[in-house]
Structure 1
């Protein structure tokens, strides 16, 4: 069995069922601003920061659309939704992280989300002190699918890329981990992996807690 020193987690779609919240928020935003409705637009945004999402915005939205206003509306709607309904965890996160720490793994978070969203989700579940390092999208030059966020997380931990295992749910996240030359386990959320994506993964698993079977 391969031995890693640290587990680097994505957040949205991996630890929390928040991609569906983002989807709902985008559908409401499209209606509010009379924008073209596209499920593929929403899927292509998964795992991206605001900056790295520009290529998706340009591909799907008309010229002159109120990008900043619409994006902020989406963010505000998603946050209010989470405050009302809560960010649903993918499993018993406290139990999972305790088990990993007992096995000697160091834990870190590498999320494209904004810092306030990360803090809200972690505090909601009482796991804000679990991670040794938390790196968010604004802390790196290029967001996923670029490798920057995972390389920066490993650097902050003082570890080599070979020492890190990434846990991801999205295509952009898998591409980022693969580009960083790190092993990655995919737990699909809204997008099922094709053969090309599967080939980039150490394993593809059905549920988050299944990672304990190889750790």
Structure 2
């Protein structure tokens, strides 16, 4: 189904009274998932694996421990996950130091729009707090967020709703009156289970499984398009 057709159908089921917007991070705030895939390919080749970056399609939304379990199940208990993680972060950090941290199209616009309309904002990412805050501070957007919830601040990871429930609870808002921006199926499921309204902005995964797309409030190519949707349909 085309995105415009999808949104025309889903717009009929909108919930009103928007109180807050919660953002995923990699692939949603930052255009970095492809950099991670690139670094996995490089480090995987160093470790003797071809096309290692393709694993990212199976691990989007996972926290550190989930990824560790995934790789050891696939490549064996002898897989040196910690060594791999340290090395790929080194490769990706070097790339971003040289080229900058890319942000997603429309990010600054929607952050300003929500701020001007006094809508609370949060980040809910599976990344560690040290890793997340480093990138958020480097691009100067921490001032927009009331809270930032990271993977090492919860005990369960997406698609479990814990991180979104924690974000809404700390914002002191009603789950039903919140939007969650996500790029991965696991994140969409987590937001829906928390009682939120998930909106998909596709990144590496262009289309979620049909049963996941059914629970979306809307789906857009960019965050800029989401501004028009919020302006015309919610606020």
Q: TM-score, normalised by structure 2?
A: 0.85
Q: Contact conserved, 2:21 with 2:121, CA < 8 A, in 1?
A: yes
Which residue is equivalent to 1:8? 22
Which is helix-richer, 1 or 2? 2
CA contact (8 A) 2:31 2:103 kept: yes
Q: Distance in 1 between matches of 2:137 and 2:105?
A: 16
SS in 1 for 2:138: helix
Does residue 199 in structure 1 map to residue 225 in structure 2? no
Tell me the secondary structure at the aligned position of residue 98 of structure 2.
helix
CA contact (8 A) 2:45 2:52 kept: no
Q: Partner of 2:49 in structure 1? A: 35
Q: Which whole-Å CA distance do the structure 2 matches of 1:206 and 1:32 have between them?
A: 35
CA contact (8 A) 1:146 1:176 kept: yes
Give the number of the structure whose alpha-carbon radius of gyration is greater: 2
Report how many residues are paired.
215
Displacement after TM superposition at 1:194 (Å): 2.7
Q: 1:214 to 1:207 in 2, by over 3 A?
A: same
1:138 equivalenced with 2:152 (yes/no): yes
Equivalent position to 2:187, from 173, 177, 188? 173
Q: Structure 1 stretch 53-62 or stretch 16-25: which is displaced more?
A: 53-62
Cα contact 2:20–2:120 (8 A) shared by 1: yes
CA contact (8 A) 1:52 1:142 kept: no
> CA separation in 2, counterparts of 1:65 and 1:88?
31
Cα shift at 1:36: 5.5
Distance in 2 (CA, whole Å) between partners of 1:173 and 1:139 is: 16
Where does residue 113 of structure 1 map in the other structure?
A: 127
Structure 1 unaligned spans of 5+: none
